[in-house]
């Protein structure tokens, strides 16, 4: 997993509540276990018409937001099924930060495990960032995980909270496997001792 310390990029506004995981990545695209390639189908039913043509007014199809790295959304983002493909699709598109007043719990946890920083903020702060995001190509924000601050295009800042353990994992680039491997020496020592103490097992 890639380390996350500071990110500067365009923020895209998605002022919708209850964006569920089927909206993020429809079930049609869940046939793969690869984490790459799903970005092309992110928000598929909102991005494309029935013929596969882009819907011009969808935010991520607008020129200013095609390379967005931050998504500012409404309440209960990521509700619905527990599919891990949802954060995979967001990350593959390039989204590394999602700001919303609230998230569905499973989606929230899956984001951290896949290198995405989900930030919960009060509605008033989300509204400020949503207004910044409406600026198009000028909607550049900086998310500083180390100092837990979001800086807007005009230099104003908003502090955010994050669980210290989850912050550590993002900063160090540790997913569940990586976290286990930090204990590799102790695991090897345990297995060596076990083979000596219980050779019959």
Question: What pLDDT digit, counting tens, does each position of 176-201 carry?
Answer: 766 665 666 676 566 666 677 777 76
| pLDDT value of residue 189 | 63
d(CA 118, CA 113): 11
Residue 142 DSSP SS3: strand
DSSP state of 58: S
Q: Which domains does the chain have, with CATH numbers?
A: 6-174 (3.20.19.10)
How many CA atoms lie less than 13 Å away from 141 in the CB half-sphere?
35
**C-beta atoms surrounding 58 within 10 Å:** 15
State the alpha helices, DSSP H only, in 48-173.
85-93, 105-113, 123-133, 164-172
Rounded mean pLDDT of the chain? 92
Residues 96-135 as b/e (b if ≥16 CB within 10 A, e otherwise) read: bbbbbbbbbebbbbbbbbbbbbbbbbeeebbebbbebbeb
| pLDDT value of residue 32 | 83
With vertex at residue 28, the alpha carbon angle to CA 26 and CA 33, rounded to the nearest 5 degrees, is 95
Q: Beta strand 140-144 with 117-120: parallel, antiparallel or unpaired?
A: unpaired
Mean pLDDT (10-residue bins), the chain, 201 residues: 96 98 94 88 96 96 97 97 94 98 97 97 97 93 98 95 97 78 63 71 63
d(CA 47, CA 77): 18
| pLDDT value of residue 34 | 83
């Amino acid at each position: 997993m890639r380390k996350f310390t500071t990110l500067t990029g365009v923020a895209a506004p998605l002022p919708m509540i209850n964006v569920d995981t089927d909206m993020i990545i429809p079930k049609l695209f869940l046939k793969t276990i690869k984490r790459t390639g799903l970005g092309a189908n992110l928000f598929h039913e909102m991005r494309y018409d029935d013929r596969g043509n882009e819907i011009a007014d969808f935010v991520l199809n607008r020129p200013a937001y095609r390379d967005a790295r931050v998504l500012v959304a409404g309440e209960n983002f990521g509700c619905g099924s527990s599919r891990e493909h949802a954060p995979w699709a967001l990350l593959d598109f390039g989204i590394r930060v999602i700001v919303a007043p609230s998230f569905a719990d499973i989606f929230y946890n899956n984001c951290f495990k896949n290198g995405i920083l989900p930030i919960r903020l009060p509605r008033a702060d989300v509204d400020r960032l949503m207004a910044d995001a409406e600026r198009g190509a000028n909607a550049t924000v900086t998310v500083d995980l180390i100092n837990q601050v979001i800086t807007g295009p005009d230099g104003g800042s908003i502090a955010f909270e994050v669980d210290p353990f989850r912050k550590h994992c993002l900063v160090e680039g540790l997913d569940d496997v990586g976290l286990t491997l930090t204990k590799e020496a102790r695991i090897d020592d345990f297995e060596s001792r076990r083979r000596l103490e219980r050779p019959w097992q």
